[in-house]
Amino acid sequence: MGRRTLPSFEEDRPSVTTLLPRGGIALLWGYSRHMNHTPYRVGVLAFDGCFASEAFGFADLLTVANQVAVHLHGDLAPRFEVAIVAARRQVTASGGVSLGTVAVPASLDLLVVPGFELIPNQDLDARLRTLDREVGVIGQVAGSGVPIASICLGAFLLGEAGLLDGRRVTTAWLFARALAARYPRATVDAKALIVEDAGITTTGAFSTAFDLAMTVISRSMGDEIARVAARVTLVPDGRTSQAPYVDEAISAAPGRQFSGDVKRWLEARTSQPYSLSELAAAFHVSTRTMLRRFRAETGESPLSHLQCVRIGTAKALLETSDLRLSDVMSRVGYLDQGTFRRLFTSHTGMSPAEYRGQFRRGPGRVRASCRGSEGDVTATRPATPEGRRSARQERQPATTQAVQSSPTPHPLRGVG
pLDDT band for position 243 (cuts 50, 70, 90):
confident
List of E strands, 128-205: 148-150, 168-169, 187-188, 194-197, 200-203
Residue pair 217/226 in contact (Cβ under 8 Å)? The answer is yes
Residue pair 146/108 in contact (Cβ under 8 Å)? The answer is yes
Residue pair 397/130 in contact (Cβ under 8 Å)? The answer is no
pLDDT for 250? 73
DSSP-derived letter for residue 268 is T
pLDDT for 20? 30
Residue pair 194/170 in contact (Cβ under 8 Å)? The answer is yes
Report the candidate in 178, 128, 190 with the shortest Cα–Cα distance to residue 158. 128
Most confident segment among 160-169, 215-224, 284-293, 328-337: 160-169
pLDDT band for position 331 (cuts 50, 70, 90):
very high
Mean pLDDT for 246-255 is 68
- The answer, yes or no, to whether residue 344 has pLDDT greater than 70, is yes
pLDDT for 407? 37
Give me the helices (H) in 234-336, please.
248-251, 257-267, 276-282, 287-298, 302-320, 325-331
Mean pLDDT for 249-261 is 73
Residue pair 343/307 in contact (Cβ under 8 Å)? The answer is yes
pLDDT band for position 254 (cuts 50, 70, 90):
low
> Containing H/E element for 86?
strand 80-86
- The answer, yes or no, to whether residue 37 has pLDDT greater than 90, is no
pLDDT band for position 362 (cuts 50, 70, 90):
low
Question: What Rg value do the Cα atoms of the chain yield, rounded?
Answer: 24
d(Cα 291, Cα 276) in Å, to the nearest integer? 9
- Which has more confidence, 413 or 290? 290
pLDDT for 251? 66
pLDDT for 371? 34
Q: What is the amino acid identity at position 116? A: F
pLDDT band for position 252 (cuts 50, 70, 90):
low
pLDDT band for position 378 (cuts 50, 70, 90):
very low
- The answer, yes or no, to whether residue 17 has pLDDT greater than 50, is no
3-state secondary structure (DSSP) of residue 46: strand
Give tens-digit pLDDT for 149-161.
999 999 999 999 9
Mean pLDDT for 312-322 is 92
d(Cα 207, Cα 277) in Å, to the nearest integer? 44
d(Cα 14, Cα 75) in Å, to the nearest integer? 31
- The answer, yes or no, to whether residue 209 has pLDDT greater than 50, is yes
- Which has more confidence, 227 or 415? 227
| Total residue count of the chain as it appears in this document | 416
Domains within the chain, CATH numbers bracketed = 4-242 (3.40.50.880), 248-394 (1.10.10.60)
Which of 120-134, 179-193, 244-258, 370-384 shows the lowest per-residue confidence on average (mean pLDDT)? 370-384
pLDDT for 68? 93
Which of 181-190, 275-284, 406-415 shows the lowest per-residue confidence on average (mean pLDDT)? 406-415
Mean pLDDT for 98-118 is 93
DSSP-derived letter for residue 112 is E
pLDDT band for position 402 (cuts 50, 70, 90):
very low
Burial category of 257 from C-beta neighbours within 10 Å (exposed 0-12, middle 13-18, buried 19 and up): exposed
pLDDT band for position 253 (cuts 50, 70, 90):
low
pLDDT band for position 237 (cuts 50, 70, 90):
confident
- The answer, yes or no, to whether residue 375 has pLDDT greater than 90, is no
The answer to pTM > 0.85 is: no
pLDDT for 255? 57
pLDDT for 360? 85
Most confident segment among 135-139, 253-257, 393-397: 135-139
pLDDT for 120? 67
pLDDT for 374? 31
Spell out the residues 6+ positions from residue 235 whose beta carbon is closer than 8 angstroms to its own: 61, 210, 213, 214, 229
d(Cα 87, Cα 138) in Å, to the nearest integer? 10
Mean predicted lDDT score pLDDT of the chain: 80
